Structure 1
Amino acid sequence: MGKGFYISKTVGIVGIVLAAGALATITALPVVYSQEKSKNNEVKSTDPTMAPSNEPWDQWRLPQTLSPKIYNITLWPRLQPDPTGLYIFTGLSSVVFRCVEKTNLILIHSNKLNMTKHPTLIGLGGKPAPTIESIVMHTKTQYMAIHLKEELTAGESYELYTEFLGELSDDLGGFYRSEYYENGIKKVVATTQMQATDARKAFPCFDEPAMKAVFHITLNHDPATVALSNGVVIDEVNITVDDTLVTRTTFAPTEVMSTYLLAFIVSDFIFIEQDIENLQIRIFARQEAINAGQGEYALSVTGPILKFFEKYYNVPYPLPKSDQIALPDFNAGAMENWGLITYRETALLYDEEISSNENKERIITVISHELAHQWFGNLVTVRWWNDLWLNEGFATYVEYLGADEAEPDWNIKDLIVLNDVHKVFAIDALASSHPLSSKEEEIQRPEQITEMFDTISYSKGASVLRMLSTFLTEKVFTQGLQTYLDHFKFNNTVYTDLWEHLQKAVDSSGTTLPKTVQEIMGRWILQMGFPVVTINTATGQITQEHFLLDPETEPDRPSEFKYVKKYFEEKNPKNFITKYLLLISIKAQFTRYETEDTTGLTMMMKTGNAYLMFSRLQDSIPVINRAQIIDDAFNLANFQSPLKWSTCLCLEYFIMSTQLSLNYHIISYLQTYVGNQVKNLFDYFTRLTNWEDVPPGHTDQYNQVNALTVACSTGLEACMTLVKTWFQQWMENPNVNPIKANLRSAVYCSAIAAGGEKEWNFAWEMFEKATVASEKDKLRAAMACATEPWLLNRYLKYTLDPEKIRKQDATSTIISIASNVVGQPLAWDFVRANWEYIFNQYGGGSFSFSNLINGVTNRFSTEFELQQVCDLPQDCFIYFFDCHLVQQKLIFECLIYVPVLKTQLIQFRDDYAHIGFGSGTLAIQQSIERTTANIKWVEKNQKAVLEWFKNPS
């Protein structure tokens, strides 16, 4: 699955400016449709609150007594509401399974489905099947338990037939509906999102990834619509069903696959296509979007990326077609359904005039991620969700390789350091982090499975696999990968299976490793956290230890492995630094340098003006290492050294976008300082192009955007005049937007922050009229930049109304508001006041619940608007400054208020324990730990930092 939560690099570097383009969503629980329930008295329901037992239906994992082989499924979604106002679907399904061990119980997943006829069971081995004695629905564990009078015979095959009814709700899970307006007409799409445990909401099934089978799908639908599924269409005929004319579309049987990869869609979408070596590639979307050419870019890059992965995996693409479809309402960023990949519109559709360079990068990396899964994840699938990191971490790593193939001039492979490596450090440095791989028995319930879809699985998984590929060499890594895929195709694995094949590749290459691949990688996979390596540059001595944001905390999961101290003696320490400094920086993740002398690197950064320093850095140290050195320095050194180095940060996107983004919420006084640093860069682009031309290079475009973003966020008068002028011109002529696509996120945010109700209302009007998804996202994020509390409170209320803010965008909108210094306390109060409603309405299994909790608490360091803390003693204010983005209101750093926030977090956790936090349970603990660390950081560093800012040098 594509990453569901996305932070725009354009505006992510300043704490008081929103992280525009954040893509996250919250899932809604469907309403109870009791009037549609079956009247079959033989199907009973259990009380979900009853105490669990040792009975198999009270366990979260299926027993291994039955093995599915073939499903035959026919579904009929109604795209018009019934007389009660409900959207429903009806279906019938038969599953052929083999009895592995004799049993008198059939357990099959079924969630929120009502059986409209009594299920039937037949034997396929020449003798009749046992008689069904009773059927009980277990709503808590989501099973239909079929009790038999006699036992099934081991080795025999049987067929279970069911007919059922479900709601085609708007909850973004299972078989659901998406709505949109086109030319003033409301339209409905029936679509799916099965990962991780929602196939059971569409039809009764053995809904575990290892329970692979072949699926025969048939869809009944309105003749004016088109039906899609994993397979190609093999038959299409108009028939009458229940006095209604429908088109019956039958699809070719799938390959052997897991239930979570199924997809079926009914819509009136249209498509563009191309054939590449007899492979059909199609891009589907709303008619308006396709006609506007928004699918052209995705179509142009899909073929090259697919062909790259065929070569990379040394396995031909196993299907005859590759469909990709953009949906108005979608849970995550994208989903790798085999042969029918589903996307958010922002992750697939690109408009040359309106979408930004960043939007383009988002599209190509998400497409590459999902296409990578067609082999790694779909062809070969992890046995259970505890190894999710292998699926998602691998796809996250190679998405950069596939994107690089399609856009070779972008140097996009370097961006993994910024997007994933450095990002995950912040999470893995917590004592409440978790290992990449857990034990199967620890990941059982749906919300526990959902919780695995986090930054650790995606970004740390990608980082350690990139590290593994580097030290094995890419040639050896791909050789092992290829034999792994060939050996396990159409099957399931555990991650150690990959280590075995990589070890074989190592052995056959003649490479010598100090330990086996499994021994080396076990320390990275089975224990949480990462080591920090300390180098004494005077003696050459090296030691390492577990790096923790708060060294006084005890890890939640102490490991049997230890970060063993290592020592290296170099006769000439200066030669050691010259020869090995960069290598160690790459290999050791974090590196601390201890010396009494000023290193040559610091001297180089201090010499001359900023442009000269930038030039020397660019010539002498590779860009990835420049970013890493700065990141290490801000996390490990006393703040005087990295702050000295920061005098050249404003000149490069890669460095600028690393640690300043992580620490700005703690040391907000960086605003004035960074403003002074960025002025030269802002003036440079003003002289060079007067902001009219787009720089040719990919990262050069980010430099331009960052210059404008940072300059305006620090209140630079020339910048504010520029953005307010552009925005005013647009307001005067709404049909002609004068703002360049790359600059819109920054301009919209700054202009709305500097304005008031008039500017906000205009943005809302443009948001409602926008037909390009990326433009709607920019406006939606920018409206969270408002500085009038009543506007932000109104906006927060909009997130509870799907007619105003789509459910897929509710979480990211709240987080955007919380990223605003004025909006943070409002968002925190809003979430606490509405938690029961949010949790019950939007569901504890949402992929974005952890994002929501982390997002509204991330600024819990000290930064608040005056009104929030004005009743506290004045001597608690350690610093204040004029902030143009909040219309000259004073922003205060209040040390006393931080413990209050920690208390509120703990109280929040305790007050709503009876409701629960679903997939956000771990996020609560991480937020408390992060707040505690922030308190300690302020106590330790405030004096030194303030002194430095009084006299920067």
Structure 2
Amino acid sequence: MAELTRFYQMFQPKHYDLFLNIDRKAKQFTGKTTITGAAKESQIAIHQKDLTIISVQANGQALPFTTDPAADALRIDLQQTGNVELTITYKAALTDTMMGIYPSYYELNGVKKQIIGTQFETNFARQAFPCIDEPEAKATFELALKFDEQPGETVLSNMPEARVEDGVHYFEKTVRMSTYLVAFAFGELQSKLTTTESGVKIGVFATKAHQANELDFALDIAKRSIEFYEEFYQTPYPLPHSWQLALPDFSAGAMENWGLVTYREAYLLLDPANTALDMKQLVATVIAHELAHQWFGDLVTMKWWDDLWLNESFANMMEYVAIDALEPNWRIWESFQTSEAPAALQRDATDGVQSVHVQVNNPAEIDALFDGAIVYAKGARMLVMVRALIGDDALRTGLKNYFAAHQFGNATGADLWAALGAAAGIDVGAIMNSWLEQPGYPVVTAAVEEGQLVLTQQQFFIGAGEEQGRNWQIPLNSNYAAVPAILTTKKVVVGDYAKLRAAAAEPFRLNIGNNSHFIVKYDTTLLQDILDQSASLGAVSQLQILQDLRLLAEGRLLSYVAIVPVLTQFANSHFAIVNAALYQVAGNLKKFVTPDSIAEQNLRTFYDKLSAAQVTRLGWNAKENETNDDQLTRPYVLRAALYARNQAAIEAAHVLFTKNKHQLVALPAAIRVFVLANEVKHFGSAALCEQLLQQYRQSTDASFKSDLCAALSSTPDANLIAQLIARFEDADTIKPQDLRAWFRNVLANDDGQQAAWDWIRAEWQWLEKTVGGDMEFTTYITVIASIFHTPARLAEFKAFFEPKIKTPGLTREIQMDIKVIEGRVNLIEEEKTAVNDTIAQLVK
């Protein structure tokens, strides 16, 4: 299957005429594709997958052909090179894998319905029409679509509809673009429309199973995002419209198809009257992410999948840039610190992790590139570092020049660095290559040695790691002027520490703002100085203390015993991001205790001690004019109180449930999941679980459905767990797109772990068939590795997954996750007694 020779080298398309005739009832379609292009070789290959090819013509003459399923290829002997017009007729089945052309299922007033949509990234356009399905093979497209149309249905594509003739919908010719960005959809849809200041039509589309006002928030964010990007990029949006479409079945979070962006319903639609602030922020950033792609990814596209980070890392940074400009009171960059930063730091510390820029030749490996913690989160941190180094003026100038030079074409990472470097007068590439081409990141040790402040760098590992002498160019961002701006060597002596400290108004620190991708290990003197002054530090700096201590403990450069007392120092913080970091550390302490042990009871008491004052201060119900920090902190402390089995908290949640039992969706969204889970755990019954499961089936509110999933899968009842798992393969109850969340929640439940683990081992073949073509398939393995922490589970994990280690696309994940679990098991075995003794002393 190696794609060492890319098909684009043999044949270079310029234009596609696509005709598709789709029969929903028969779940099949026929097609006729005419490709105009230049044959560079007389023997060419065209991508196709699972298409039944009926005929091939070149310039009107029938040609013999062969199919090569192993290479996803249609092989044609043209006998000559030069310009050619290929016409290929074929037929195929609609898929139920959420890839290619596929149906999305939903119910409206008890009637089952479907809409047809597409998902062509990474290389699934070849399942819809023969093409050169590579990012570099840009062309224009004219789509003609016929289907078993019903009155009142809506048809959407990348470009506006030009006309309808004899039941065929013809769309205007696209701009030059990659195959993976082609998209269309049709079905019974509702919409909300508006227009930007520059005249771009903006629309949000969804099934009629949703309330009309659920489209309003997305419409506002989409409009303002397009307007923001046009101004920031200093480059007009190049299409007439930007449609946002919510699909009931959708594998990823969203997809940046040019002009027709598709989303999971959960990431586009929301109840404006009852959605938690963090969920609003998530939906806004997802929309801003996809619309950032309309320039960075769509207008200018990576040349090959090894530069996938060019698309994703940039969009991941820009979603925060945009939302920070649109909703400054949200302080959205703080969310970056609690989501992207810790995800990148955790994943990137495992030996064997991919670099941001990674070579790929086998098509089966392409989907495995979409490692969210690396290509999205780490890559975004790299770009945040660049932004901090060069400033927004140079960033915008560089981007404008980059778009002008490469619009409607392709680019590489080197092209971006050249444009930004020219604008800033800095060799950006030299700095960034050490981050993009090398996996992992450094820990910088700051120590006072013989009176001198000394900084050293070495690669940081969680679990076993092979030191390879890697070196990074590290923007140190220190608060002491004597520290170099960039650490390029393994070691630097800064100067006399006593003099530096005497001249400074604050303790010595590195990585101010937490924008650079490294952590700091301060020696005892320096760390104590910081802790003594921690109350005067800002939210991000306080978060950093907890973040770095946690990672150092995970990497065995510090004992967890040293961190536990520090948690109490921050327990009453009014900063939401500090509470996020605090309860992430506290959550890690759970792995040191076994269920129903004295150690677990001590940990619950410790949680009560951490959360009690905050629960009293904040209560269960939102207060008028309370801060965003308080809104975002409340869930952390309520979850902690309930874990602590605080009887007042348990009773308060039960009272809220009882008052709202006839309208559970109306419970305040920010606390609803805790109320529901508390009821299932402490007052549950088979009847209650059946009632909640029925509401899960019937609801179209994605946030409410997520809460019901979390609550139901927390049940301690083995019979109810068995009933839930029996529905894992029932798509009418649990859609395949939502299955991973159900599986993860049951696996994380001590009372459900064995049953969930047994299920996935028994049903792996079914799972692979159902979601195996999905870029998120490997994350089922990641989920398991994030939870397992005992020697027995490690042995079982290895026994099941090691035989699958050579499966294309799974190799790296399995190898890494074995190391993840091994590192965790070794940490627990060595520190368990000391950690539990420390907690016991603190709760006496």
Instruction: Give TM-score scaled by structure 1 length.
Output: 0.81
What code does the residue aligned with 2:742 have?
Answer: T
Residue 500 (structure 2) pairs with residue 500 (structure 1) = no
Q: Report the 3-state secondary structure (helix = DSSP H, G, I; strand = E; otherwise coil) of the residue aligned with 2:825.
A: helix
Residue 720 (structure 2) pairs with residue 720 (structure 1) = no
Matched with 2:795 is 903
What code does the residue aligned with 2:68 have?
Answer: H
CA offsets 1:132-164 (integer angstroms, 9 cap, x no match)? 2x311111211111234x2x23xx311111122
Q: Is the 8 A contact 1:177 1:189 kept in 2?
A: yes
Residue from 542, 548, 551 that aligns with 2:461? 548
Q: Report the 3-state secondary structure (helix = DSSP H, G, I; strand = E; otherwise coil) of the residue aligned with 2:508.
A: helix
Q: Is the 8 A contact 1:814 1:856 kept in 2?
A: no
Q: CA deviation at 1:226?
A: 1.7
Residue from 55, 66, 69 that aligns with 1:118? 55
What code does the residue aligned with 2:547 have?
Answer: D
Residue from 141, 144, 150 that aligns with 1:218? 144
Residue 283 (structure 2) pairs with residue 283 (structure 1) = no
Matched with 1:895 is none
Matched with 1:458 is 376
Q: CA deviation at 1:234?
A: 1.3
Q: Is the 8 A contact 2:686 2:720 kept in 1?
A: yes
Matched with 2:238 is 318
Q: Is the 8 A contact 1:137 1:145 kept in 2?
A: yes
Which residues in structure 2 correspond to 1:257-276 (within 5 Å)? 257-276=177-196
Matched with 1:39 is none
Q: CA deviation at 1:946?
A: 2.2
Matched with 1:632 is 548
What code does the residue aligned with 1:568 have?
Answer: V
Give, in whole Å, the separation in 1 of the partners of 2:750 and 2:103.
36
Q: CA deviation at 1:182?
A: 0.5
Please list every run of at least 4 consecutive aligned residues from structure 1 whose deviation after the TM superposition is greater than 6 angstroms.
560-563
Matched with 1:525 is 436
Residue 644 (structure 2) pairs with residue 644 (structure 1) = no
What code does the residue aligned with 2:388 have?
Answer: T
CA offsets 1:532-571 (integer angstroms, 9 cap, x no match)? 0111145311111100012x4327x986879841222322
Q: Report the 3-state secondary structure (helix = DSSP H, G, I; strand = E; otherwise coil) of the residue aligned with 2:246.
A: strand
Q: Is the 8 A contact 1:368 1:399 kept in 2?
A: yes
Q: Is the 8 A contact 2:14 2:139 kept in 1?
A: yes
Give, in whole Å, the separation in 2 of the partners of 1:856 and 1:532.
27
Q: CA deviation at 1:270?
A: 1.7
Give, in whole Å, the separation in 2 of the partners of 1:581 and 1:781.
43
What code does the residue aligned with 1:716 have?
Answer: N
Q: CA deviation at 1:344?
A: 0.6
Residue 5 (structure 2) pairs with residue 65 (structure 1) = no
Q: CA deviation at 1:214?
A: 0.2
What code does the residue aligned with 1:933 have?
Answer: G
The answer for unaligned runs of 5 or more in structure 1 is 1-51, 124-128, 240-246, 508-512, 606-616, 862-897
Give, in whole Å, the separation in 1 of the partners of 2:617 and 2:303.
55
Q: CA deviation at 1:282?
A: 0.8
Matched with 2:578 is 655
Q: Report the 3-state secondary structure (helix = DSSP H, G, I; strand = E; otherwise coil) of the residue aligned with 1:218.
A: strand
Residue from 85, 106, 114 that aligns with 1:180? 106
Q: Structure 2 vs 1, CA of residues 588 and 252 (structure 1 numbering), >3 Å: closer, same or farther?
A: closer
Q: Is the 8 A contact 2:100 2:119 kept in 1?
A: yes
Q: Structure 2 vs 1, CA of residues 198 and 475 (structure 1 numbering), >3 Å: closer, same or farther?
A: same
Matched with 2:710 is 781
Give, in whole Å, the separation in 2 of the partners of 1:574 and 1:691.
51
Q: Is the 8 A contact 2:781 2:814 kept in 1?
A: yes
Residue from 155, 162, 176 that aligns with 2:88? 162
Matched with 2:170 is 250
Give, in whole Å, the separation in 1 of the partners of 2:377 and 2:135.
22
What code does the residue aligned with 1:501 have?
Answer: A
CA offsets 1:206-247 (integer angstroms, 9 cap, x no match)? 00000000000111131522211000111123x2xxxxxxx3
Q: Is the 8 A contact 1:75 1:219 kept in 2?
A: yes
Residue 608 (structure 2) pairs with residue 675 (structure 1) = yes
Give, in whole Å, the separation in 1 of the partners of 2:753 and 2:369.
24
Give, in whole Å, the separation in 2 of the partners of 1:742 and 1:561.
41
Matched with 2:67 is 137
Q: Report the 3-state secondary structure (helix = DSSP H, G, I; strand = E; otherwise coil) of the residue aligned with 1:164.
A: strand
Residue 773 (structure 2) pairs with residue 836 (structure 1) = no
Give, in whole Å, the separation in 2 of the partners of 1:694 and 1:436.
45
Matched with 2:325 is 405
Q: Is the 8 A contact 2:301 2:409 kept in 1?
A: yes
Matched with 1:747 is 675
Give, in whole Å, the separation in 1 of the partners of 2:90 and 2:742.
37
What code does the residue aligned with 1:473 have?
Answer: G
Q: Structure 2 vs 1, CA of residues 114 and 737 (structure 1 numbering), >3 Å: closer, same or farther?
A: closer
Q: Is the 8 A contact 2:242 2:260 kept in 1?
A: yes
Q: Is the 8 A contact 1:443 1:449 kept in 2?
A: no
Using CA pairs under 8 Å that are at least 6 residues apart, name the structure with larger relative contact order, 1 or 2. 1
CA offsets 1:704-724 (integer angstroms, 9 cap, x no match)? 222212211221111111112
Q: Structure 2 vs 1, CA of residues 738 and 191 (structure 1 numbering), >3 Å: closer, same or farther?
A: closer
Q: CA deviation at 1:598?
A: 6.8
Matched with 2:35 is 95
Q: Structure 2 vs 1, CA of residues 761 and 750 (structure 1 numbering), >3 Å: closer, same or farther?
A: same
Matched with 1:950 is 840
Matched with 1:934 is 824
Give, in whole Å, the separation in 2 of the partners of 1:575 and 1:267.
68
Q: Is the 8 A contact 1:849 1:918 kept in 2?
A: no
Residue 316 (structure 2) pairs with residue 396 (structure 1) = yes
Residue 468 (structure 2) pairs with residue 468 (structure 1) = no
Residue from 753, 769, 774 that aligns with 2:698? 769
Matched with 1:608 is none
What code does the residue aligned with 1:470 have?
Answer: A
What code does the residue aligned with 2:435 have?
Answer: W
CA offsets 1:343-373 (integer angstroms, 9 cap, x no match)? 1101110112343222211110000000000
Q: Is the 8 A contact 1:386 1:452 kept in 2?
A: no
Q: Structure 2 vs 1, CA of residues 449 and 838 (structure 1 numbering), >3 Å: closer, same or farther?
A: closer
Matched with 1:207 is 133
What code does the residue aligned with 1:339 have?
Answer: G
Q: CA deviation at 1:644?
A: 2.3
Matched with 1:108 is 46
What code does the residue aligned with 1:949 have?
Answer: I
Identity score, percent: 28
Give, in whole Å, the separation in 1 of the partners of 2:192 and 2:117.
20
Deviates more, 1:834-843 or 1:389-398: 834-843
Matched with 2:367 is 449
Q: CA deviation at 1:338?
A: 0.3
Which residues in structure 2 correspond to 1:145-160 (within 5 Å)? 145-148=75-78, 150=79, 152-153=80-81, 156-160=82-86
Q: Structure 2 vs 1, CA of residues 385 and 558 (structure 1 numbering), >3 Å: closer, same or farther?
A: farther
Residue 264 (structure 2) pairs with residue 344 (structure 1) = yes
Give, in whole Å, the separation in 2 of the partners of 1:805 and 1:217.
34
The answer for unaligned runs of 5 or more in structure 2 is 474-487, 553-557, 594-599
Q: CA deviation at 1:483?
A: 1.1
Q: CA deviation at 1:519?
A: 1.3
Q: Is the 8 A contact 2:244 2:261 kept in 1?
A: yes
Q: CA deviation at 1:391?
A: 0.9
Q: Structure 2 vs 1, CA of residues 60 and 648 (structure 1 numbering), >3 Å: closer, same or farther?
A: farther
Give, in whole Å, the separation in 2 of the partners of 1:144 and 1:269.
36
Q: Structure 2 vs 1, CA of residues 920 and 358 (structure 1 numbering), >3 Å: closer, same or farther?
A: farther
Q: CA deviation at 1:315?
A: 0.2
Q: Structure 2 vs 1, CA of residues 676 and 389 (structure 1 numbering), >3 Å: closer, same or farther?
A: same
Instruction: Give TM-score scaled by structure 2 length.
Output: 0.91
Q: Structure 2 vs 1, CA of residues 643 and 91 (structure 1 numbering), >3 Å: closer, same or farther?
A: same
Q: Is the 8 A contact 1:533 1:588 kept in 2?
A: no
Q: Is the 8 A contact 1:228 1:265 kept in 2?
A: yes
Q: Is the 8 A contact 2:434 2:471 kept in 1?
A: no
